[in-house]
Structure 1
Amino acid sequence: MSKDRLLASRRLDVALALVGQNDTEAAIDVTRAAISADPDWEEAHFVLGDIFERMGQLENAIEAFRQCLALDPVDRMGAEVRLTLLGAVAMRDRLPPDYVRALFDDYAPRFEISLRDRLAYRGPELLFEAIRPYLPELLRPLRVLDLGCGTGLVADVFAGHVDVIDGVDLSPRMINRAKAKGFYRNLIAADITDLPDGLDRDYGLVVAADVLNYLGDLVPALQAAHERLVPGGLMVFTLEHGDAFPFDLGPGQRFRHHERAIHDWLKDCQFEIVADATGILRQEKGNPVSGRIMVVRAGDGMSKLIGELGRLPDPDLSIDRIVH
């Protein structure tokens, strides 16, 4: 079958315009025409699934999202996320990295306007207020690692109070926006669960503002952060509340974490909770989104080792049992 991506693109533009006019029936017809022009274009299948979901035709939506995922297994469109929310596939322990990267590459030019002006986002300010009482005890020069740095909103707030800030983000376009601010020493496009060698291993503070919400299982990110902190260094981060153990995926396509799971993961990763507060992180569809603002301290591993040794059987008692 011949493929005409240009024709398909024009038809899909028309379909999206019809969606904007709430003419979903016509939008479906035009989207199907776009697919007939280029059956292998995953974006057209994704749009078809989105329109079907808006109309409440969930089985048709699931079929379209599955076709999108089959055409693009790395899932830059986030079809698997939509299938998860529709209950059609099992929930994974993180959002697909290629999807998150593509999402924020596209979002970068309007990111700050959207968060600050439309969503009243206050994550960096809440994190700074949470960490402020502990800043005097941290070793100087104070080096900070900003996980999921985005366009540099954390640096906007923290820069005047610390000595060095390095940033990591999956999205190269976000990194470019952050670089233009001039606050960061190093900026690296990388996954926060697998931090590159180019970063230090003696940070006094790690900041994670509204980034852990894109991970279900927090252990890989917490372990990576711990490896980069000096013993006694602090990590401050935000999370969204969850009632399902250990986590669930909310309608905003962000994970929500259960309190008991958070505490278990922190203990396993050798972090001690210093402060745990709640606050309004942002607005979503006119409703406040509350979350946790946590400060934790990195241990050096000795307390865990001592605890494990303390549970070993007494050598004398062991010998006594063997003898008798």
Structure 2
Amino acid sequence: MSSDRVLASRRLDVALALVTQGDYAAAADVARAAISADIGWDEAHFTLGDIYERAGEAENAIEAYRQYLMLDPVDRMGGEARLTLLGAAAMRDRLPPDYVRALFDDYAPRFEISLRDRLSYRGPELLLEAVRAHLATMVGPIEVLDLGCGTGLVGEVFGGHFDAIDGIDLSPRMINRARAKGLYRALVAGDIIDMPGDLKADYALVVAADVLNYLGDLAPALRAAKTRMKPGGLMVFSLEHGDVFPYDLGPGQRFRHHERAMDEWLHECGFAVLSDAYGTLRQEKGNPVEGRIMVVKATDGLDILAGAGALLPDPDLLTGQTVH
């Protein structure tokens, strides 16, 4: 069968324009015409699935997403996550790395305007506020590893308070924008679950601002972080709270984590909780998104078994804390 990508692309542009007008029936007709011009174009199948999903035609959306995945098993556009939210695929333990990389490569030019100006994102500020109270007992130099550093928002907030900060992110385009700020000593493109060997192994502080939401099972990420920390080092991170154990995927394709699951992962990976507070991470469609801000300490395991009162805060202080 012949294919005409140029014709298909023109038709898909028309379909997307019809979506903006809310005419989903006409948009689906034109998207199907785009596929007829180039049946092997994965993006056209994904777009048709999105149109059907917007129109409330779940079964048609499921079929279109499945066709997309047959053409792109790497899943650069996140078809499997869409199927999961539609109840047609099993829950995975993370979003596909290739999808996350492509998503943020595309998002990089407008990332900060979107988060700061439109969504009132203040995750880095909340993390710094949460960890500040625990820094007095730490012996310098305090070097920081920023997990999922993005364009360097954590570097802007944390940079002036510590001796050095390094960053790692899946997206090379996000890394490039962070590098241009001149805040980081080293920046590495890589996966936080499979830490590249050129990162240090004795960071005093690890920061994960709005990155663990893209992972379901957090144990691999916590274990990987600990391998890069000095004994007694601190980790501070944000989470979105979930009521489903151990985690579920929210409508924004971000994982939400159950409190008991988080406690189990931390214990398993050798971390003791120093503080666990709640705060508004950002706005979404005009509504505040509440999250957990946790500060944990890397232990050798013996501290936990011994009770190590110095490592554990008063339980009363862990209940109902709020970061403002």
TM-score, with normalisation over the residues of structure 1?
0.93
* Secondary structure at the counterpart of residue 139 of structure 1: coil
Match of 2:218 in 1: 218
Amino acid at match of 2:155: A
Amino acid at match of 1:248: D
Match of 1:255 in 2: 255
Amino acid at match of 1:192: I
- Output the CA distance in 2 between the equivalents of 1:265 and 1:135: 24
* Secondary structure at the counterpart of residue 293 of structure 1: strand
* Secondary structure at the counterpart of residue 230 of structure 1: strand
- Output the CA distance in 2 between the equivalents of 1:7 and 1:188: 40
Deviations along 1:42-76, one digit per CA (max 9) or x if unpaired, are 11001100110111110000000000011000100
* Secondary structure at the counterpart of residue 276 of structure 1: strand
Alignment check: 8 A CA contact 2:11 2:33 kept: yes
Amino acid at match of 1:202: D
* Secondary structure at the counterpart of residue 199 of structure 2: coil
Match of 2:145 in 1: 145
- Output the CA distance in 1 between the equivalents of 2:134 and 2:226: 18
Q: Are positions 1:55 and 2:28 aligned together?
A: no
Match of 1:136 in 2: 136
Match of 2:164 in 1: 164
Match of 1:319 in 2: none
Amino acid at match of 2:134: Y
- Output the CA distance in 2 between the equivalents of 1:305 and 1:196: 31
Q: Are positions 1:289 and 2:297 aligned together?
A: no
Relative to its length, the structure with more helix (as a share) is 1
Deviations along 1:206-253, one digit per CA (max 9) or x if unpaired, are 000000000000000000111111111000000001000000000010
Match of 2:322 in 1: none
- Output the CA distance in 1 between the equivalents of 2:182 and 2:59: 49
- Output the CA distance in 1 between the equivalents of 2:299 and 2:32: 57
Deviations along 1:2-22, one digit per CA (max 9) or x if unpaired, are 111111111111110111111
State the structure with more CA Rg. Answer: 1
Root mean square deviation of aligned Cα: 1.1
Q: How many residues of Structure 1 are paired with residues of Structure 2 in the alignment? A: 307
- Output the CA distance in 2 between the equivalents of 1:81 and 1:69: 11
Match of 2:104 in 1: 104
Deviations along 1:134-173, one digit per CA (max 9) or x if unpaired, are 2222221111000000000000100110011000000000
- Output the CA distance in 2 between the equivalents of 1:7 and 1:203: 53
Residues 138-287 of structure 1 correspond to what in structure 2 (within 5 A)? 138-287=138-287
- Output the CA distance in 2 between the equivalents of 1:171 and 1:135: 30
1:305 CA drift (Å): 7.2
Identity over aligned pairs, percent: 74
Amino acid at match of 1:15: A
* Secondary structure at the counterpart of residue 200 of structure 1: coil
Match of 1:85 in 2: 85
1:304 CA drift (Å): 5.8
Runs of 4+ in 1 over 6 A off after TM superposition: none
Amino acid at match of 2:202: D
Amino acid at match of 1:152: G
Alignment check: 8 A CA contact 2:46 2:64 kept: yes
- Output the CA distance in 1 between the equivalents of 2:97 and 2:255: 14
TM-score, with normalisation over the residues of structure 2?
0.93
* Secondary structure at the counterpart of residue 109 of structure 1: helix
- Output the CA distance in 1 between the equivalents of 2:304 and 2:273: 15
Amino acid at match of 1:160: G
- Output the CA distance in 2 between the equivalents of 1:150 and 1:211: 9
Alignment check: 8 A CA contact 2:272 2:304 kept: no
Q: Are positions 1:121 and 2:146 aligned together?
A: no
1:306 CA drift (Å): 6.9
